[in-house]
Amino acid sequence: MYNLDQGAMSNLQLYIAVGLPVIAVLTSLVISLVQISALREEMRTQIAGVREDIRDIREDIREIRADIKLLTGKVYELMGQK
């Protein structure tokens, strides 16, 4: 075993020197994962909202197409009466 007077590290000092940075890195990774999970959930919520908006727009387009068909039919009827 090394003599502590010559600048050698004790086992406890070695564990602390290696362990603290490892704990810090693991903690930062966990925090990053939590943040990523929160962002993914927020994105899912926003995507669901966009999909609902698209459904509404498609329904509006169907209604507009139906109105155009009705008006086109009326124009043909009026042209046929003249």
Instruction: State residue 4's pLDDT score.
Output: 54
Q: In the chain, how long is the greatest CA-to-CA distance?
A: 116
Instruction: State residue 66's pLDDT score.
Output: 97
Instruction: State residue 80's pLDDT score.
Output: 86
Please report, for residues 1, 2, 8, 10, 12, the alpha-carbon distance to residue 5 in angstroms, rounded to integers and kept in the order given. Answer: 12, 9, 7, 11, 16
Instruction: State residue 7's pLDDT score.
Output: 67
Instruction: State residue 19's pLDDT score.
Output: 94
Residue 69, CB half-sphere, CA atoms under 13 Å: how many? 6
Instruction: State residue 8's pLDDT score.
Output: 78
- Taking the model in full, what pTM does it have? 0.55
Euclidean distance between CA atoms 36 and 44, whole angstroms: 12
Q: 71 exposed, middle or buried (CB, 10 Å; 0-12, 13-18, 19+)?
A: exposed
Below-50 pLDDT ranges, the chain: none
